[in-house]
Structure 1
């Protein structure tokens, strides 16, 4: 790639201030220079109108859940009834159809300003549990999909060995599991070997949940993370029933179980962390474990509201994810962290816009193993996300409160330009792949065609 200049009308720069006339020089995949106070775009520079942010990081995604959007809203139920509907989609995908669905889903993310995704991957094998000829075929499809859509990816290969605390895998769950924890580790090693040295791909690991991984198996996943220096993510305390089953089996909460078996720490991320005790909060905070909040999914599935501010103040950095993709909009996820806190406490003003933008950018990238991202500084990944300030949602913004306007009023539809790793993947609101709506419609229809969802 040749050196390029991008002139930003306005840009959000460290330590959280908006500057006017910012010239960003990009060489290949990295930012090489930032200059402020440049009153007009120099010759040859690409002009970026509105407010330019660092790339957003979607720290928790299940790409195949995108096929469920809008189909589960009539039911009166819970997370557990929704899960049965999700299994219907999980049961029909193969590497080719998953590539098409994931590519369209990741392209939707790019349109929303997301430049890196943490894909929590457990759809490993054939529907009957038999491995494909390449046991990592589904994982390779996800990596290819991210690359074609213009995203970096942390593929978080999930260990998933039991159907519940003390119960075997059954039905479609069999495609999630390897024969045992050593079989999972061998497959994950092979996956990691295939991408070693690839800068745009991080192979991390995941404990799907304490329902899916027994206590004595957790250290194997934690050791993989330590040995390779890669992220470890886990669904944690999303449902009260999960907590009750864990306490009954182990006399410990999920957080306590993960801590006892070495799965907490600065490389780890607890996803959801909704129903926590004071001890849980202290353990997550003191260990520096990140917590990924997914407010739209947590509302959609009636999970509850997690103690995000208490976790942050205890020392646990907060990140954001779209999870089940009921919507793909990290501005919505960011403001929901504050607005849900208001509902829970009946008070306003828990989070600043700068804190929420950091959760959507630098903190999220860190949690996915891309520490040099999510900031507009020399040496960082060349990710530039430009948001319109003249839409019906953002028009009339006070120049002194632009970060607040973006966090509390803008939507993904206001993103008009996305440079991801030096590649201009979204121009004037259109993705380089073409009509993403049509791509999604075709891929979702294919994912549903064999099973009524």
Structure 2
């Protein structure tokens, strides 16, 4: 088993303390030993300058949305008009082009310090809805992309059966659906068997939303999660229109409906959770359901500002996601949780830097089925992310205020080294795959299709 040592100028250690001179010894994919008080790098140890934190967890991603960056800013519509442009990209992808796009997108994540991604996957079949020869070909492409980019993946296979509450699938939506939850479960069971012995892959499940899964079929997804002891994620109350349709059909909010059908609990994550009642907040917190905030996407799509602190105070662990990838920067997502709440309340100081770092690390990994990640501790996954403290954004940081500077001023561009599962994937700000920008440019041009890279169509 390969052994490596990294000497950290400063390291963020549990329960949230910044310590100088920390030596981390790695065996294989795990941290073997953490030694404090090492004043100089020992012979053979790799020096990590700045502040080293555990690997970040991107708890909510749709990899193919990366092809939309910039293009959707030309229109002044809503979530629903943005969705039509997203569907346009969804029509073009096949397993080969999806592999290219996802690999480049995941590599961008690694450059930003992300060592685990929760990929909310519903692009299952051909554009007409016919399964590929291997019905999980698109899922396999995502797993391969994550491995080649150098991060772990929780592939959250989404059940997607209707185009709206009580509305059948149509158009490109047909490629999202399996017909009913029983057939979804059969396909997902096959996917699970493929990766049963893989330590770097977690096959979780998802209820796309109350719009996409009829209430009477939700329990089958919840039972799958319970039977296999895997994460269950769901888009929840992202839009007011979703709440209205749910109440009209079921006389219950989305949170209440998911609770009734057994889809909430410590293994579950409610994504967005933007428009909630006090009852919804109490239900989510009372059963310790994670809540994934995606502030950049929520701002970009004009969704609103969710009650993150109220949820946390009621017992819901908060996690972070880049979702539609308008930007990929978990430091931006973390500070936005605080800054957006300031706008909503006209008060400062809802979250500490340590709480936001925990959301980006240990809480996010736990929500994705990797509870032994996100900590610089012996036995944990060997994920080390080092952030410069001498850039134009971070210069002047001291040991005492390094977490505040990183959370409230640093960007993904300040990440200079990433060790993921014991392998150094980023050194001096460069990914081992080479020019990730060029990879993205080529993959996005292919995903947008003829005429789409100039805004047409």
Sort the TM-score into its range (normalised by shorter chain): over 0.9
Say yes or no: does 1:38 pair with 2:38. Answer: yes
Moved over 6 A (4+): none
Q: 1:218 is matched with which residue?
A: 218
Cα distance, 1:27 vs structure 2: 0.1
User: Using the alignment, how far apart are the partners of 1:399 and 1:229 within structure 2?
Assistant: 40
User: Using the alignment, how far apart are the partners of 1:46 and 1:398 within structure 2?
Assistant: 22
Greater alpha carbon shift after TM alignment, 411-420 vs 177-186: 177-186
Cα distance, 1:266 vs structure 2: 0.1
Q: 1:196 is matched with which residue?
A: 196
Greater alpha carbon shift after TM alignment, 179-188 vs 93-102: 179-188
User: Using the alignment, how far apart are the partners of 2:144 and 2:399 within structure 1?
Assistant: 41
Alignment of 1:260-299 (within 5 A): 260-299=260-299
Say yes or no: does 1:327 pair with 2:334. Answer: no
User: Using the alignment, how far apart are the partners of 1:170 and 1:74 within structure 2?
Assistant: 26
User: Using the alignment, how far apart are the partners of 1:147 and 1:32 within structure 2?
Assistant: 23
Q: 1:173 is matched with which residue?
A: 173
Cα distance, 1:451 vs structure 2: 5.8
Cα distance, 1:398 vs structure 2: 2.9
Cα distance, 1:450 vs structure 2: 3.6
Q: 2:399 is matched with which residue?
A: 399
User: Using the alignment, how far apart are the partners of 2:17 and 2:195 within structure 1?
Assistant: 37
- TM-score between the two structures when normalised by the length of structure 2: 0.99
**3-state SS, counterpart of residue 39 of structure 2:** coil
Instruction: Provide structure 1 residue ranges, at least 5 long, that are not aligned to the other structure.
Output: none
Alignment of 1:151-166 (within 5 A): 151-166=151-166
Q: 1:259 is matched with which residue?
A: 259
Say yes or no: does 1:353 pair with 2:353. Answer: yes
Q: 1:363 is matched with which residue?
A: 363
Cα distance, 1:397 vs structure 2: 1.0
Cα distance, 1:180 vs structure 2: 1.2
**Superposition RMSD on alpha carbons, in Å?**
0.6
- TM-score between the two structures when normalised by the length of structure 1: 1.00
Contact preservation (8 Å) 2:10, 2:399: no
Q: 1:140 is matched with which residue?
A: 140
Q: 1:130 is matched with which residue?
A: 130
**3-state SS, counterpart of residue 154 of structure 1:** strand
User: Using the alignment, how far apart are the partners of 2:450 and 2:232 within structure 1?
Assistant: 34
User: Using the alignment, how far apart are the partners of 2:215 and 2:189 within structure 1?
Assistant: 21
User: Using the alignment, how far apart are the partners of 1:26 and 1:137 within structure 2?
Assistant: 34
Q: 2:380 is matched with which residue?
A: 380
Contact preservation (8 Å) 1:107, 1:149: yes
Contact preservation (8 Å) 1:12, 1:19: yes
User: Using the alignment, how far apart are the partners of 2:84 and 2:450 within structure 1?
Assistant: 16
Cα distance, 1:179 vs structure 2: 1.8
Paired residue total: 453
Alignment of 1:71-86 (within 5 A): 71-86=71-86
Q: 2:442 is matched with which residue?
A: 442
Contact preservation (8 Å) 1:88, 1:451: no
User: Using the alignment, how far apart are the partners of 2:281 and 2:48 within structure 1?
Assistant: 42
**3-state SS, counterpart of residue 72 of structure 1:** helix
Contact preservation (8 Å) 1:92, 1:450: no
User: Using the alignment, how far apart are the partners of 2:399 and 2:151 within structure 1?
Assistant: 31
Contact preservation (8 Å) 1:89, 1:451: no
User: Using the alignment, how far apart are the partners of 2:179 and 2:356 within structure 1?
Assistant: 41
Contact preservation (8 Å) 1:92, 1:451: no
Q: 1:344 is matched with which residue?
A: 344
**3-state SS, counterpart of residue 59 of structure 2:** strand
Q: 2:207 is matched with which residue?
A: 207
Contact preservation (8 Å) 1:6, 1:23: yes
User: Using the alignment, how far apart are the partners of 1:75 and 1:20 within structure 2?
Assistant: 49
